[in-house]
Amino acid sequence: MTIKTVGVAGCGTMGTGIAIVAARAGFATVLYDTQEPALERARGQIEAFLRKSVERGKLDAEELPKIMERVSGTTTHQGMAGCDIIIEAVFEDLEVKHALFAGLDAVCPPHTIFASNTSTISITEIAGGSGRADRTVGMHFCLPAQLMKLVEMSPGLTTSDETFAAAWEFCEAMKQVPVKTQDTPGFILNYFLIPFNNDAIRLVEQGVAEPAEIDKAIKTALGYPMGPLELLDLVGMDTQKLLCEAMHGLTNEPRAACPPLVRRMIAAGHLGKKSGRGFHDYADSKTFGA
């Protein structure tokens, strides 16, 4: 099948980044969120990212309005009915994902592929409540999606070969780099990353070093472009909590359990960059660079 129109469900940091990737690659892109203000905020973030790309010489100025013209938004499932593939980037909660896909299944044509950006929940389980288990596939983008190229592609037990091949081709058409993984908790990246990030949080809890020093050590010695606590501020403490709960619930790996400090930070409203304060303080809540 030929994919021309892409739907992205969820206007958080990840969903907005995925929308940038799709629209920048030339695809008509429909953003879905239940709240109109979330759609407006996402469009503003997309345009701000593209403007920064122009300023840095990474995008021709005349391309910016063309990309923005490809981006539309909707607060209804019906508004996604014309999509050839829909990528969900909503909460890491199986019931939420099932409800979303059930609603979309009722209005989307048979050929529409459902893709999940989940990093911890079984693709097979998500597919089981999608209404089209053979046309559901895992597509886990790296954060921030508009800067990172890797996408973990995961077929569920019921995913057809045709669906996986079409999703893989679409991924390459977006100029991303797909790798195939099995339907296992955390796939490749989060199998390592969730426990690793939790270890960094526990260093802060134990008073071993300040967040800035931990990030500096990791970036300097290991060559990472971003420290673990900087990354966590971009992910958001609320999201990290959900990731930990999902991963720990599936694996019982002690290092995947949510550190108490994360829950305290959520209670204090220190969610990360989106709230202006997490492990680091931020002058603004913009989550995108270029």
Give the residue, 266 or 283, on which the prediction is more confident: 266
| pLDDT at 283 (0 to 100) | 84
Annotated catalytic sites, by residue? 119, 140, 152, 190
Alpha-carbon torsion, ordered 265, 208, 142, 7, to 10 deg = 0
Helix (H) or strand (E) holding 113: strand 113-116
The C-alpha atoms of residue 149 and residue 134 are separated, in whole angstroms, by 26
Largest distance between two CA atoms of the chain: 55
The structure tokens listed for 201 are 């949080």
Q: Examine the pLDDT at 288 and tell me if it is beyond 60.
A: no
Is 13 in contact with 143 (CB distance < 8 Å)? yes
Give the position of tokens 């999608």. Answer: 130
Q: What is the mean pLDDT of residues 21-49?
A: 96
Domains of the chain, each with CATH number or no CATH: 5-180 (3.40.50.720), 189-275 (1.10.1040.10)
CA 49 to chain centre: 16
Residue 111 identity (one-letter amino acid): H
First to last CA, the chain: 32
**pLDDT tens digits for range 117-129:** 998 899 999 999 9
Q: Examine the pLDDT at 285 and tell me if it is beyond 70.
A: no
Helix (H) or strand (E) holding 31: strand 28-32
50 Cβ contact partners less than 8 Å away, ≥ 6 residues apart = 20, 24, 59, 63, 64, 67, 68, 290
The structure tokens listed for 181 are 């993984």
The C-alpha atoms of residue 112 and residue 128 are separated, in whole angstroms, by 16
Nearest Cα neighbor of 144 from 271, 288, 272 is: 288
The C-alpha atoms of residue 65 and residue 84 are separated, in whole angstroms, by 23
DSSP state of 25: T
**pLDDT tens digits for range 172-197:** 999 999 999 999 989 999 999 999 99
CA 151 to chain centre: 10
| pLDDT at 62 (0 to 100) | 96
**pLDDT tens digits for range 37-95:** 999 999 999 999 999 999 999 999 999 999 999 999 999 999 999 999 999 999 888 99
**Beta-carbon neighbour count of residue 241 at 10 Å?**
17
| pLDDT at 135 (0 to 100) | 98
The structure tokens listed for 252 are 């019982």
Work out the mean pLDDT of the chain and round it to a whole number.
95
Residue 290 — very low, low, confident or very high, per pLDDT cuts 50/70/90?
A: low
